[in-house]
Amino acid sequence: MPSDVLIKGRDAAFFAERLAKALPDLRFDAAHDPAEALAKCANADILIIRTDEIFPELVAKMPKLRLIQALTTGTDHIQALPNLGKQVVLAAARGFHGLQMSELAFIFMLHFMRDFRDLFETQAAHRWNRVEQRLLVDRTAVIIGVGSIAEDLAHRCKVFGMRVVGVSDGRGEAPYFDAVLPRARMNEAAAQADFLIVLVPHTQETTNLIGASVFNAMKPTGVLINIARGGVVDEDALIAALQAGKIAGAGLDVFKTEPLPKDSPLWDMRNVFITSHVGGMADTYGDQVMPLLVENLRAFSEGHQEKMRFIVKR
């Protein structure tokens, strides 16, 4: 029997229409909010969803569920579901986020080099203020995690004339990196960083990986950039480091609790630049992810799970 595929999310109709044309033997339905998803989920054996949009009640009402195809790189929210059976295959969406993630990293880096906040305030005050501009050339970016996104970012850093150091236990060298150090030498790497950029997934091993010891090792002019997962950074230690002047600033796209609570002191810190977990988003995201969705759904529906890409081990 052909699979029934439920797609949940704000752009569910777009995906349903495109996928139906590419895979006419499958049945697709779109749900734009939780209530609609609950009303349509009973017969679906495949669910396509962003990891932060899933909820236990939805899985509980899908007795036929065999595959969850995430629309995101991270799948931690899905894996944390208490009622997700081991028989359900989970696949991530990876391999195409490098462009948008790298651009966000550069927004953060340029913000702190050129002081965008001051530039906007100067314009608002109608004040002409010519000052020397700090350049990225010869600055050191230390990237925690050396995967495909990190490679993409490292490539762009080299175009700007930057030095790039990676931290990874999985690789001893990588394209565009001047050096790759093991995690045991994290503080040694952090001490070199003008920008410490976090690009590792959130796992038990990486929870609070970036904490007080790392901040103490950094230069007081160093900046933390987290575009990975909030749980990788010890937020209390980060706040303390910022308040004490241990580091110069932080560019943060992700947080331990999202949305970031309104009473978080991070909101009001002048040396913190906050974005709302937009790092993986792009106006071309649908086109970016579509080939992977078609490939994985076709392989799964034809019984060739071994041909699927980015299956998550759990």
Catalytic residues: 229, 258, 277
β-pair partners for 214: none
How many CB atoms lie under 10 A from the CB of residue 215?
24
Nearest C-alpha neighbor of 253 from the set 225, 281, 283, 232: 225
Nearest C-alpha neighbor of 157 from the set 115, 229, 109: 109
Do 164 and 176 meet the contact criterion of CB atoms below 8 Å apart?
yes
Residues with Cβ within 8 Å of residue 76, at least 6 apart in sequence:
51, 201, 202, 229, 231
d(CA 41, CA 168): 41
Strands 195-198 and 223-226 come out as parallel
Residue that is written with structure tokens 């992700």 in the block: 254
Nearest C-alpha neighbor of 112 from the set 250, 239, 254, 310: 250
252: burial class by Cβ within 10 Å (0-12, 13-18, 19+)?
buried
β-pair partners for 195: 141, 223
Beta strands in 57-126 (DSSP E): 67-70, 89-91
The DSSP letter of residue 3 is P
DSSP codes, 112-155: HHHTHHHHHHHHHTT----------TT-EEEEE--SHHHHHHHH
